[in-house]
Structure 1
Amino acid sequence: MAKRKKGDGHRGPEVRNFVQVVRQPSLGVELSTGRAWVGVDQQVGHGSADALFALTDEQYAAALAGEGLGPFTGECWRGEHDDLLLFHPGGASWYPEHWHPARARMLPPRFEGELWWYVDALDGPADGPGAAVARLLAPTADGPVFRLTGEDAHPRPAALIGGLGPGSDRARARAVLGEPVEADGDGGDGNGNGNRSGDSDLHAVEGDRVRLEYADGGLVSIALERPAPRPLPDGPVRALLAVLGEPEGGPAFRELVRLAGGAHRRWASSSGPSWRLLAFDGGAEVLTRDGEVLGVRLPASGPLSASGLLPGSRTEVHRALGAPSATVAGTDLHRYGARDLLVGYGAEFDSARPGAAPVRVTAVPRGVSVPRDPYRWRSGEFTLFLDVLGRPESHPLVGWVRALPGARLVLRRGLVTAVVVGEHGGHRAERLAAFVDGMPAAPARGDVPFGLPRERGERDDLREFAQGWIHVHCADGSAVSTVTVARQPPPVR
């Protein structure tokens, strides 16, 4: 049982480390013991979360291969395997103390398995958290090379690529990964029949390559390889890719805004700072986090298309951008170094036609996933004001806010500490109406749509956000006079 034992309330440090490998159904490994687990949904208060039950290596490999677990999860839900319970949600935590969730991939994966953690570790720093998890998953690995047999074999050799394990033949590998992009000799008729010792095949996995090494007809090792980067293409596609990782409000961002049509709404999520979604009238969507652009999504028709973003058929797109690095479920991935361009052609069947027309385009940094449909809670300039708090005066987003008529920046030692709107003078109505969509130009105290305040005084309301505070001042106790977005909470009177 993973629940805290009764007694004096003291316990040692939590050494267990849970790594999720598959999101649905939730599967993974507990690193301190190497035990695989499956998540089984449990009712917790008014919601639900997963309890984690231990699996055998055989069950884990079968689940990764898509063969399912039979009645086992139902038995766990009914309490028949409580001796296998590693963690149960409840109280203050729905997840284990050390929890590493799997990344939702932008391109639907051809397989499930632990190899994805190593793919993602290639993108991060060697001392980063992703690389640390990868090292713990395979402590005997020789860099990105994983042996499936012998003393230094991967601890769960059948879990690297679901459906493949030690001794798998070429036919099975091609059923899981598709046809190879390069074969170093099939040892016979060129169709994968009659393997000979030392053969290897190179398969495309997203924008990377996976080399499968065979000996005596069976799989013995798996290695990751990263192709040389392609240069950025010319034209509007270059502007779409160049903005990734750049500051919101900077030159690359302003060029994208111009191409996308200019007018947009800036949405916030209700769950902390996380994502900002800039939704343009022409259909383009830009996702930012911490003041940087981390994703652009747009329909293939729209202002950017009118600027010649992409030609009208899949064949012509390939002629302009080159062959895709990978194709899965109706989407082509074109990788340019650290930037990915995903071009969707609708249904998978239709996308196989050379004349299929692109219907959506997404640009993201390599190794980054952006939500497909981020939750839109509130939109308005308050998101801008929260995001400039603590930023230096030189940041492009600060310059963007400074240019807004009627918005006053408060700085201390070169950093933004507050933004004030609604003071006496010009543009009062304009800035108050734009502060949050739905608020009138001359708002009353009850027109501020943020729910109940954290503190309420005779003339002031104070609300707490993840990045700062929003202080609404009403000089007469009713009509809004000023709104201040600040790093520290102003006094409530």
Structure 2
Amino acid sequence: MAKRRKGGERRRPDASCFVQVVRRPSLGVEVSTGRAWAGVDQQVGHGSADALFALTEQQYAAALAGEGLGSFEGECWRGGHDDLLLFHPGSGSWSPERWYPARDRMLPPRFEGELWWHVDALDAPADSPEATAARRLAAGTDRAVFRLTGEGAYPRPAALIGGLGPGSDRARARAVLGEPVEEGGDVHAVEGDRVRLGYLDGALATIALERPAPQRLPEGPVRALLAVLGEPEGGPAFRAAARLAGGAHRRWASSSGLSRRLLAFDGGGQAQVEDGRVLSVRLPAPGPLGLLPGSRTEVHRVLGAPSATHAGTDLHRYGSRDLLVAYGPEFDSARPGAAPVTVTAVPRGVSVARDPYRWRSGEFTLFLDVLGRPESHPLVERVRALPGVRLAVRRGLVAQVVVGDRGHRAERLAAFVDGMPAEPARGDVPFGLPRERGERDDLREFAEGWIHVHCADGTAVSTVTVAQEPPPVR
């Protein structure tokens, strides 16, 4: 509902919508007006966030081409362009209400530009953030073939591919996009997709995106890494991938406000999971289980030619699954004999941190992650098998996990958070200040639910309850 101004006048709803195109430095478009913007860091309380200042089309295109903004950002920071301010984080939010952030791409991009939103929108559901942002950027123009000039042209033709605008020649296209997929052709690899460039009298006039037919999953151990993506944590596919990753693992949370987990395996591998399903797997290569051969030439013989290559990393795409093989520093990785360093499997269009922050680890991550899950989920079965754990199930879904009242108390409390003593006092629970504190209870909020610590004598921890709904604090 629109708010009212003083005197009863109704305030118009804010129609502004910001699509970020580049993360660092932050660049994008306010799509309700089509104005480009740049983010300038501002102090806000004890932190900082970007204020967004309008750019000219020329400034925006130059920044996307890697030419920078000169002194503009410093001038904005000093208050020299307040008339260009589109959003300030001190207005009650760190980011605009309608905000589409750009993602860190798994394969380092050869260029910056709005085309990446259109790449991610290929085959995406119409109501997905990717498709919505792409439509807003295109502003009603054709997204099957982007016209760069004339009637129906894309609103910011020089911003689709930074450094490659209307009228560019083939030499410029090769400098920005690399060599064509086929010698003498005008189709270039962009991650696992293809960009077809159209020329009129030698001058770039159109850009079209194409998605190649999917390749079949490879045979051998790599297949297990790709097959586990999207599968339940703890299920058969997960166990097969875990054997490659090194067997036993520790579950890490990056903060109390995020639900994505890092599984750090003893063998050096990592997996990231979210909502009970596997999001990515990253392993050292070649490993003791013979995941990949020892040279780039042999890897290509096993996996086929990569869909795209950049900055020392090959991308092999298998439909909706991506496999990234990193060969170390770019100058060394070009050698046919370069050895693979890491292998990462991730769903197409998904980004994961290469080294997520490790805040706290322990069984509390497992207990939070089973909340709301059916009893048949592999994680629930794993929790139920732990001695001294009591599950409360409502309508077939886990509502609470309790430790400390069914025996094995010291074992479970020590495992609840790694590093916590087996006989913890109230102050030993390492989650910071509770949201609510009573004479005998502490209550803390997490992204997935609540952790309730009960101390019968007000000091020593008696039980810990992990619940969807906050238990009463006494």
Shorter-normalised TM range: over 0.9
The answer to whether the 8 Å contact 2:118/2:134 transfers is: yes
Instruction: Report what 1:155 is aligned to.
Output: 155
Does 1:459 find its partner at 2:440?
Answer: yes
Q: Aligned match of 1:223 in 178, 202, 208?
A: 208
Change in Cα spacing, 1:475 to 1:9, as seen in structure 2 (3 Å) is farther
Change in Cα spacing, 1:287 to 1:96, as seen in structure 2 (3 Å) is same
Identity of aligned residues (%): 82
| Separation (CA, whole Å) in 1 of partners of 2:419 and 2:198 | 61
Larger mean Cα displacement after TM superposition, 319-328 or 451-460 = 451-460
Q: CA deviation at 1:459?
A: 2.4
| Separation (CA, whole Å) in 2 of partners of 1:41 and 1:451 | 28
Q: Aligned match of 1:444 in 417, 420, 425?
A: 425
The answer to whether the 8 Å contact 2:157/2:165 transfers is: yes
Q: CA deviation at 1:10?
A: 5.9
Q: CA deviation at 1:9?
A: 9.5
- Post-superposition CA distance 1:224-250 (Å, at most 9, x none): 001111111111101111111111111
Does 1:279 find its partner at 2:264?
Answer: yes
| Separation (CA, whole Å) in 2 of partners of 1:308 and 1:142 | 47
Aligned length, in residue pairs: 471
Aligned pairs (5 A) from 1:3-18:
11-18=11-18
Q: CA deviation at 1:354?
A: 0.7
The secondary structure found in structure 2 opposite 1:20 is strand
Does 1:257 find its partner at 2:273?
Answer: no
Does 1:431 find its partner at 2:416?
Answer: no
Q: Aligned match of 2:191 in 206, 210, 231?
A: 206
| Separation (CA, whole Å) in 1 of partners of 2:77 and 2:463 | 54
Change in Cα spacing, 1:99 to 1:357, as seen in structure 2 (3 Å) is same
| Separation (CA, whole Å) in 2 of partners of 1:481 and 1:461 | 12
The answer to whether the 8 Å contact 1:268/1:377 transfers is: yes
Aligned pairs (5 A) from 1:368-407:
368-407=350-389
The secondary structure found in structure 1 opposite 2:90 is coil
TM-score, length of structure 2 as denominator length: 0.96
The answer to whether the 8 Å contact 2:100/2:129 transfers is: no
Q: CA deviation at 1:5?
A: 8.9
Does 1:79 find its partner at 2:64?
Answer: no
The secondary structure found in structure 2 opposite 1:485 is strand
Aligned pairs (5 A) from 1:57-72:
57-72=57-72
Q: Can you give the 5+ residue segments of structure 2 that lack an aligned partner in the other structure?
A: none
Aligned pairs (5 A) from 1:166-315:
166-182=166-182, 201-301=186-286, 305-315=287-297
| Separation (CA, whole Å) in 2 of partners of 1:490 and 1:295 | 34
Aligned pairs (5 A) from 1:105-144:
105-144=105-144
Query: What is the Cα-based RMSD across aligned positions, in Å?
Result: 1.7
Q: CA deviation at 1:472?
A: 1.4
Instruction: Report what 1:473 is aligned to.
Output: 454
Change in Cα spacing, 1:20 to 1:490, as seen in structure 2 (3 Å) is same
Does 1:352 find its partner at 2:334?
Answer: yes
Change in Cα spacing, 1:42 to 1:135, as seen in structure 2 (3 Å) is same
The answer to whether the 8 Å contact 2:449/2:466 transfers is: yes
| Separation (CA, whole Å) in 2 of partners of 1:484 and 1:429 | 15
Instruction: Report what 1:491 is aligned to.
Output: 472
Instruction: Report what 1:50 is aligned to.
Output: 50
Q: CA deviation at 1:91?
A: 4.0
- Post-superposition CA distance 1:282-305 (Å, at most 9, x none): 11111011111111112215xxx2
| Separation (CA, whole Å) in 2 of partners of 1:483 and 1:359 | 42
The answer to whether the 8 Å contact 1:140/1:153 transfers is: no
